[in-house]
Chain A
Amino acid sequence: MDTLTIIYFVYMFISLYILSFFIVSFIRIRKELYETPKITKEYGVSILIPAYNEEKAIEETIRAASNLDYKNIKEIIVIDDGSTDNTLEIANSLKKDIPLLEIIHKKNGGKAEALNLGIKKAKGELIAIVDSDSFPRKNALQKTVGYFDNENVGVVTVPILVRNRHNLLSRLQAIEYSVIAFTRKLLEPVDGIYVTPGPFAVYRRKTLREVGGFDTKNITEDIEITWNLASKDFSRKMNMTTSVSTISPDKFRPWWHQRNRWTLGGLQTAYKYRKFLFRKNILGYFILPFFILGFIMGLLGMGILGVLTLSNLFKQYIFIKFSFLADTALITQTDVMNITPTVLNYFGIILFVFMFLFTLFVLAIIEKELFKGKRFLDLLIYLVFYLLLSPLVLLTATFKLIKRDLSW
């Protein structure tokens, strides 16, 4: 067996292991997938909405927050992070309608800084953070506060779904977000939730203060805070009975920038918590190794693919050149008919089928409408092309990191 075949098998095995993990986890928690802890105490909740140049969405976000079906909302604090558009004016104009609304205006300093300011002002025992372009369902708080009866729970999140689905890119993200949401739930049994995303997460205020709030130097403060909580053994939970919709990038460039930011932030976070590797708790034994493995596999895979592609292109060039010289056929019927798949091809096809079925299964559970009509084609594009973009993002982010360029 040559080295490349061994590497291929290692990739196959790791992918199979991850898939097996999700299957076993699903089997284990399938009955409690949609369970929600009963509310035994009406915790006071402060809602924080950090906003920067969100004039298009801010009103709807504030209204969605004010319409949340929960009795003990202490305040809705919009922290305007030095917006240069009409975000602040729009937010201020809503104060008459929404008595609980408070607006803080500050110089631009980043989302983490804005959130930390909000945490200082917050009066509720729990703090719900809502991105200024995200819209929680009415029952989002009802379904999440019950978890905080367990003193060890530091944060609860919900599925984040894509609201805008008018073009292929946004529809592909809709599939992706659904799969991410479902797999995040499947990580819960081992307390392996590694991000409580910005669009909506409810934190215990005491815990947030205890861990020092959000890291202002990190460009993905939501990943960092989750790892911070994990490092201190605070549990992270996910409720599947509600959801938050968010606006995803519908053009390639902003999508690319967003993915670069996520990847760079992930790398930045992994570097910060590197000393936890194989130590202490789930962060060191699972989250960090999982992240590092994904990083190595992505880069190595890209490297191998790059070398193989170049090598094949070179071979094809030589072959075509020689074929022209010898006046022989470039391709014959026998070439097409005589394709003999290798065992590796069979493995690849089987794994692809597993992944396809798993994704179908997830969508059938979370978003039935994604099944219909041409959405099926979206699913194929998602599995065959869209997922392949991740290693490219990883490569770009790595170059940026090497250059110490944390812009996106």
Chain B
Amino acid sequence: MKNKNNILFLEALIMALFIFGLGILLGVFIEDARMTNIQDKYLSSRTNLLDVQTLSDIIKDSEFSCEYSIKKNMEFGNKIYEDSLLLAKYEDSRSLKNNLLEQHRIYDLLRTIFWVNSMELKERCPEFHTLVYLYNYDEQDNSEKQKQEVFSRFAGELMSETEGNLVLIPLAINLEIASLEILKEKYGLEGTRLLFDEKIHVTEVGLLEEFEEKVLSEMRGQ
């Protein structure tokens, strides 16, 4: 390597490192911006949850109609469902940082609290319904992952079909959230499934249509 022009290799390396470093920094910036976006949404959702919880407490012993409370719970349910879609989208597109796991846990905790709150609301307002979608976070088995995709899509479609009064709560069941563990034990919940009002559940793709009929019939029975 006698040629003095061989410094060219070094210059190219410096240039490549510079551009690559800039790219990585930009990447970190983009992922951080997404993280911030999720955190902002979480803060807003937490406030909304406190609001619907307080609302439930207010109507607990009063003559207030369920209508307003259901409306607020539905709004909140839809909001956190949209947040969950956004979070899933960001999780799928993350490359540099794995910092969304904690955010996912904290969101799941929020949704668990909302589920518990919804159970109480359902006792007083029977026209309000919940559809809890339980799945494994970061599922590695390809077949199971596709099953989850279809369950998720089915749940979304069912929610749109019922046009109100059914709130969808997606929850990852393997993120070691103590309160969720208790609920899992109480209702005997394991693996991917859809759970309607803690009464009807489905675990097989082939039984989803049957499940849909049961849910619609149950809701019509109101």
A residues contacting B by CB (< 8 A) are 1, 5, 12-13, 16-17, 19-21, 23-25, 28, 189-191, 281-282, 285-286, 311, 314-315, 318-319, 322-323, 325-329, 332, 334, 338, 340-347, 350
Pairwise interchain contact B154-A328, C-beta atoms closer than 8 A: yes
Bound-state Cα–Cα, A332 to B93, Å: 19
- Whether a CB of chain A sits under 8 angstroms from the CB of B6 is yes
- Closest B-chain residue to A322, C-beta based? B150
Q: State which of A21, A328, A342, A346 has its C-beta within 8 Å of the C-beta of B26.
A: A346
The smallest beta-carbon distance between A235 and chain B, in angstroms, is 10
CB-CB < 8 A to B5: which residues of A?
28, 189-191
B residues contacting A by CB (< 8 A) are 1-3, 5-6, 8-9, 11-13, 15-16, 19-20, 23, 26-27, 30-31, 85, 89-90, 92-96, 98, 142-143, 145-147, 149-151, 153-154, 157, 205-206, 208-209
Pairwise interchain contact B20-A13, C-beta atoms closer than 8 A: yes
Bound-state Cα–Cα, A406 to B85, Å: 55
Pairwise interchain contact B143-A21, C-beta atoms closer than 8 A: no
Bound-state Cα–Cα, A281 to B23, Å: 34
CB-CB < 8 A to A23: which residues of B?
12, 15
The smallest beta-carbon distance between A187 and chain B, in angstroms, is 10
The smallest beta-carbon distance between A303 and chain B, in angstroms, is 19
Pairwise interchain contact B94-A342, C-beta atoms closer than 8 A: yes
- 11 other A-B residue contacts (CB within 8 Å) besides A326-B153, A326-B209, A343-B27: A17-B12, A25-B8, A28-B8, A318-B143, A318-B146, A325-B150, A328-B208, A342-B93, A343-B31, A343-B95, A346-B23
Q: State which of B3, B8, B19, B209 has its C-beta within 8 Å of the C-beta of A21.
A: B8
CB-CB < 8 A to B16: which residues of A?
13, 16-17, 19-20
Bound-state Cα–Cα, A13 to B19, Å: 9
Q: State which of B89, B157, B205 has its C-beta within 8 Å of the C-beta of A322.
A: B205
Pairwise interchain contact A326-B208, C-beta atoms closer than 8 A: yes
Pairwise interchain contact B6-A190, C-beta atoms closer than 8 A: yes
Pairwise interchain contact B209-A327, C-beta atoms closer than 8 A: yes
The smallest beta-carbon distance between A315 and chain B, in angstroms, is 6
Bound-state Cα–Cα, A282 to B95, Å: 37
The smallest beta-carbon distance between A152 and chain B, in angstroms, is 11
Q: What 6 A-B pairs are tightest by C-beta distance, nearest first?
A: A343-B27, A21-B12, A318-B146, A20-B15, A17-B16, A322-B150
